Structure 1
Amino acid sequence: MATQIKPQPETLPVSIDDVRAAHARIRDSIVRTPTLISRTLSQMTGATVYLKFENLQFTAAYKERGALNTLLLLSEEAKAKGVIAASAGNHAQGLAYHANRLGVPATIVMPRNTPTVKIVQTEGHGANVVLEGDTFDAAYAHARVLEGERGFTFVHPFDDPRIIAGQGTVAIEMFEDVPSIDTIVTPIGGGGLISGMATVARAQPNPVEVVGVEAELFPSMYNRINGTDMPCAGDTLAEGIAVKEPGGITARMVAQLVDDILLVGERSLEEAVSLLLQIEKTVVEGAGAAGLAALLAHPGRFAGKTVGVVLCGGNIDTRLLANVLLRDLARSGRLARLRIRLQDQPGALFNVARIFDQERINIIEVYHQRVFTTLPAKGLITDIECEARDAAHLDRLIAALRAAGYDTTPVELA
């Protein structure tokens, strides 16, 4: 999709005045998260990179903004009856938290296979959690049934002007803090965040390019805008933007306001999550790291620009985060598993370990395979996990092992 600056149309359901009003409405009840320059990431990407730390909200995601704006716009009657949503993610947390704070009953419908930790967190914010169906679509359908039966107000996670206006307040603060930003890079799931932020970007006195980012496995908005039919399926690290069908309102706004949509692969997402923890010392979920992933995957696209990137959420499972970090160490050569063919005789492993010592590489784990191997009965395979300074250091070890006559093969990551 060609990059071009588009004027603010008059026909869209959310205006800059709506976003400004939303910000005035919610700003005293949310965290005004900082927008800070990252000098290291700027050097790495060739752009001047500013990060908006929405992972520092109380529920660790920007979703609070739209949820709170919607709650504050409800009539007293609607507040008394309560709200309902279908979500197993950040929308559930944000709505439950602010509804509880305002004394509004909240019901959240989640699929039965939702991780227990998410159920407990949502209940901890005072919401009534209903488990229904095995998929999000089933949970969503049940929520709409309960909406009709009990008179609840359904709060959509993205396809609602009140939600969009609330999410757009992220950009209000970003441009207040750094007026020189000329490009914003924003993750796209259902499209609520980018619709609101693009509305603000188009109202700036200077032209601002608006770039959306989706995971390659879930290019739903890209398909809608570009008329393509790429599949939307798979296990993505960016589960927060793994949306199969974007909103009708948001698709209309993205079509008119967004200049470009980039797709990022899983490796770029993993690298972005890891870099943000190592460089910025901040925990960001896969969806929250999508903006940085786009800069890493397309550095020439942003070179020389002043870029605002939203770290839109920090809710990532700790075991998943550990896997991402270890995989990143492996790809950089600092962590490796080497498969070495040995003769099954005394001193064989000792002699190999001596080479590791000579090269000053730390052995972490050793796995001997005598039985489950295709080698002859007197042969064995040893897998050694080790820790090196960098890829060059690891290469020197492999060269030394091979020079000593050992058949050595690195076990590669997918």
Structure 2
Amino acid sequence: MELVTIADVRAAQDRVAGVAVRTPLIPAPWAPGPGELFVKPEMLQPIGAFKIRGAYNKIAGLTADERARGLVASSSGNHAQAVAYAARMFDAKATIVIPDTAPDHKVAATRALGAEVLLVPPAERDILPRQLVEERGYILVPPFDDGAIIAGQGTIGAEIADDLPDVDLVLVPVSGGGLISGIAAAVKALRPEARVVGVEPQLAADASESFRTGRRIAWHPEQTHRTIADGLRTVSVGVLPWEHIRAHVDDIVTVTEDEIRAAMRALVVQGRLVVEPSGAAATAAYLSIRDQLPESARTVAIASGGNADPAMLAEILSAG
């Protein structure tokens, strides 16, 4: 099984240029403690999350005939919007299978981008897309278990290493593993000394358990759907991401629901950055469990998305 290389990531950078925003590293002087924290604000992407990088890289790499067959993807929301957005740019039909537990605003945003949305129970989210591939000839655009997707997400890591060549630690939220796989592949190629650490909710800690045991473990949807971080509810990391994690990732840690909420408040109130729960997980690790992280003078936390439900965001802010 071939891993994504820095050459793949650089090629993806060229492909997504002008579509994905080259997000800056924002200093976070409000974060206490030794060393510096920088936040990578992927909520500034056109669809409000990092997913546009991988989705566009994948779809742009298809032939015109493949795109004309129609595209299908499964997602809790952000990958859905990314595929719908990229498909619209190529005038391709997109069908998105979304768990019926996904936030309403993410479902509405996907439909608004022109995609057909099919709501299914969480356990069926990965089954129906493959059925549609077989029955209708659609091209599958996976959320994470694909080399082109991983390379697209890896453009984040290349940007970090280019903008902060002496970075010591990169904190990355983990769901299906495409984001951390791409970032780790790029960072380790350009800055081998840096550590890459994944962050998961304790209530959806399949990747952490897999990392500790050395074998890929799946959790039940009933377990992972307990977390407020809806973008991190995937029941297991993908097969290809798992190989990247084994090769490049230094550790995977977990944070509590309260720590995620506190990080959301800090990012919004002190950092002026609107994030969804999944996008706050990496910062939560820096703020709340730094004793479990490698020592670092310069840390980057990936704020992976900002598609927060307004009512939930208001509730979390008022609780502070």
Aligned pair partner of 1:266 in 257, 262, 276: 257
**For residue 225 of structure 1, what is the amino acid of its counterpart?**
F
1:290 aligned to 278, 281, 289, which one? 281
Q: 1:208 to 1:115 in 2, by over 3 A?
A: closer
Shift of 1:154: 0.6
Q: Which moved more, 1:50-59 or 1:25-34?
A: 25-34
1:309 and 2:297 are equivalent in the alignment: no
SS at match of 1:210: strand
Aligned to 2:243: 252
Residues 105-144 of structure 1 correspond to what in structure 2 (within 5 A)?
105-112=93-100, 114-131=102-119, 133=120, 135-144=121-130
Give the corresponding residue for 2:269: 278
Which of 211, 227, 239 matches 1:225? 211
Write the mapping of 1:137-286 to structure 2, written as runs, cut at 5 A.
Answer: 137-205=123-191, 207-227=193-213, 232-286=223-277
For 1:32, the equivalent position in structure 2 comes to: 22
Q: Tell me how large the CA RMSD over aligned residues is.
A: 1.8
AA at the equivalent of 1:319 = A
In structure 2, how many angstroms separate the alpha carbons of the residues matched to 1:217 and 1:116?
A: 22
The Cα of 1:68 is off from its aligned counterpart by 0.1
Matched, 1:325 2:317: yes
Q: Distance in 2 between matches of 1:173 and 1:16?
A: 12
TM-score (norm 1): 0.72
Q: 1:113 offset after TM fit, Å?
A: 5.0
CA 303–208 in structure 1, closer or farther in 2 if over 3 Å, else same? closer
| Residue aligning to 1:400 | none
Aligned-partner SS, 1:79: helix
Per-residue CA deviations over 1:158-213 (Å, capped at 9, x if unaligned) read 01011000000011112222212111111111100000000011112551111111
Deviation at 1:245, TM superposition (A): 1.4
CA distance in 1, matches of 2:132, 2:279: 31
Q: Structure 1, residues 221-274: CA drift from partner, whole Å, max 9, x if none? A: 112222287964452121211221110111111011101111111111011000
- Distance in 2 between residues matched to 1:122 and 1:230, nearest whole Å: 27
* Contact kept in structure 2, 1:222 and 1:261, CA below 8 Å: yes
Aligned pairs, how many? Answer: 314
1:53-72 matches, within 5 Å, as 53-72=41-60
User: Equivalent residue for 1:18?
Assistant: 8
CA shift in 2, pair 1:36/1:192, >3 Å: same
Structure 2: distance between partners of 1:142 and 1:294: 35
Match 1:46 to one of 18, 34, 47 = 34
* Alpha-carbon distance in structure 1 between the residues aligned to 2:140 and 2:131: 10
Q: CA separation in 2, counterparts of 1:128 and 1:86?
A: 12
Q: Distance in 2 between matches of 1:69 and 1:233?
A: 28
Match of 1:408 in 2: none
State the one-letter code of the partner of 1:262: V
- Residue aligning to 1:299: 290
CA contact (8 A) 2:77 2:102 kept: no
**Hey, what's the Cα distance between the residues in 1 that align with 2:178 and 2:254?**
18
Contact 1:47 1:302 in 2 (8 A): no
Consecutive unaligned residues of structure 2, counting only runs of 5 or more, are none
Residue 75 (structure 1) shift: 1.4
Larger Rg: 1
Identity over aligned pairs, percent: 36
Please give the per-residue CA displacement for 1:72-122, whole angstroms capped at 9, x wherever unaligned. Answer: 111121011111011231000011011101212111122345444333211
> Displacement of 1:52 after TM fit?
0.7
Secondary structure of 2:158's match? helix
Distance in 2 (CA, whole Å) between partners of 1:290 and 1:272 is 7
- The whole-number CA distance in structure 2 between the counterparts of 1:149 and 1:189 is 28
Secondary structure of the structure 2 residue equivalent to 1:29: coil
Q: Secondary structure at the match of 1:52?
A: strand
Query: After superposition, what is the alpha-carbon deviation per residue over 1:6-41, rounded to whole angstroms, capped at 9, x for unaligned?
Result: xxxxx6421111011001111121111111211111
Cα distance 1:184–1:112, how it changes in 2: closer, same or farther (>3 A)? closer
Q: Distance in 1 between matches of 2:155 and 2:313?
A: 29
Give the C-alpha shift of residue 136 in structure 1.
Answer: 2.4
Gaps of 5+ in 1: 1-10, 330-414
* Alpha-carbon contact 1:51-1:310 (below 8 Å) kept: yes
Give the whole-Å Cα distance in 1 for the aligned partners of 2:247 and 2:100: 38
